[in-house]
């Protein structure tokens, strides 16, 4: 075995132990209303506090977790942690807002998904309307006849759905119109380009207009500077998320933002 394969195998084995060893942490990135500047949500992002390698961002290990079939364990844990955290903030008397949890395709396809979400909501006591689940276009559009019943049941319970990384996957508009979703999240690659690329400007403006015509909310991710924010303002985007306002931060620091 060459060194890279060996490193990979070691990392895979370590990842399986990371949960039991309490090395995974959830950081929260604020979502902000464009008109009021108020925090309207917190996206839960899982990080790995690796004893030797330091803090690893999800991009470094989520794809591996998907490959080795460990992603549903992670998604379960993040869902429970994030719901419990949001309930704790509510119990501490802060103004209520949504917590947004990313859901892998594998998790979304679990036959017991609805039961699992209901169980976590019951166990944590978080009212369902304060939970939003993010799935990608690929996850939502694949086997649409199969996904719509789960979406309908969860939406019926008042759990919200957002389409993550919108514009980068394979979206069919005839599928999109059938999905009982609440929100589109414009992928950050388009937001990065709005200052310099007329095509990105056109795409972002079009997604915002389309979302509103479909009576959906729309949020921009990856907002890093004031010019991008201004462009989103002019085009009436509802919410923003990005380093300009805050990076993903520990729950304790998030509390200071909502005080």
Residue 248 contact among Mg ion, ligand C2E, none, beta carbon within 5 to 8 Å by kind: ligand C2E
Q: Cα separations (Å) of 94 from 85, 88, 100, 174?
A: 12, 9, 17, 40
Residue 132 contact among Mg ion, ligand C2E, none, beta carbon within 5 to 8 Å by kind: none
Told to check if 102 binds Mg ion by CB under 5 A, we report yes
* Residue 184: CB atoms within 10 Å: 26
239-241/24-33 β-pairing: antiparallel
The binding track of 120-139 with respect to Mg ion, each residue x by CB under 5 A or -, is: --------------x-----
* Residue 107: CB atoms within 10 Å: 24
Helix axes 113-124, 144-156, angle to 10 degrees: 20
- The single residue among 165, 229, 231, 232 that binds Mg ion, judged by CB under 5 A, is 165
Residue 59 contact among ligand C2E, Mg ion, none, beta carbon within 5 to 8 Å by kind: ligand C2E
Nearer to ligand C2E, 128 or 138 (CB): 138
Told to check if 248 binds ligand C2E by CB under 6 A, we report yes
Residues at the interface with ligand C2E (CB under 6 A): 29, 45-46, 57-59, 62, 71, 74-75, 78, 102-104, 134, 164-165, 188, 221-224, 241-243, 248
- The residue ranges that bind Mg ion (CB under 5 A) are 102, 134, 164-165, 221
């Amino acid at each position: 075995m060459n060194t890279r394969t060996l490193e990979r195998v070691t990392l895979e084995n370590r990842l399986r132990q990371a949960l039991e060893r309490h090395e995974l942490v959830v950081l929260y990135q604020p979502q902000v209303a464009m008109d009021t500047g108020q925090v309207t949500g917190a996206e839960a992002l899982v990080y790995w506090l690796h004893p030797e390698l330091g803090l690893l961002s999800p991009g470094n290990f989520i794809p591996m977790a998907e490959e080795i079939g460990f992603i549903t364990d992670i998604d379960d844990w993040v869902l429970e942690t994030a719901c419990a955290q949001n309930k704790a903030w509510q119990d501490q008397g802060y103004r209520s807002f949504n917590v947004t949890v990313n859901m892998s395709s594998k998790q979304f396809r679990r036959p017991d998904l609805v039961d699992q979400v209901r169980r976590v909501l019951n166990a944590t006591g978080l009212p369902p309307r304060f939970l939003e689940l993010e799935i990608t276009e690929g996850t939502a559009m694949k086997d649409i006849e199969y996904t719509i019943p789960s979406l309908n049941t969860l939406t019926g319970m008042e759990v919200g759905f957002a389409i993550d990384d919108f514009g980068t996957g394979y979206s069919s508009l005839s599928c999109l119109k059938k999905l009982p979703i609440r929100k589109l999240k414009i992928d950050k690659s388009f937001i990065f380009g709005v200052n310099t690329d007329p095509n990105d400007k056109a795409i972002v403006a079009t997604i915002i207009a389309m979302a509103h015509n479909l009576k959906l909310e729309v949020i921009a991710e990856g907002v890093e500077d004031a010019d991008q924010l201004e462009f989103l303002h002019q085009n009436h985007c509802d919410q923003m998320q990005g380093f300009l306002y805050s990076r993903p931060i520990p729950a304790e620091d998030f509390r200071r933002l909502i005080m």
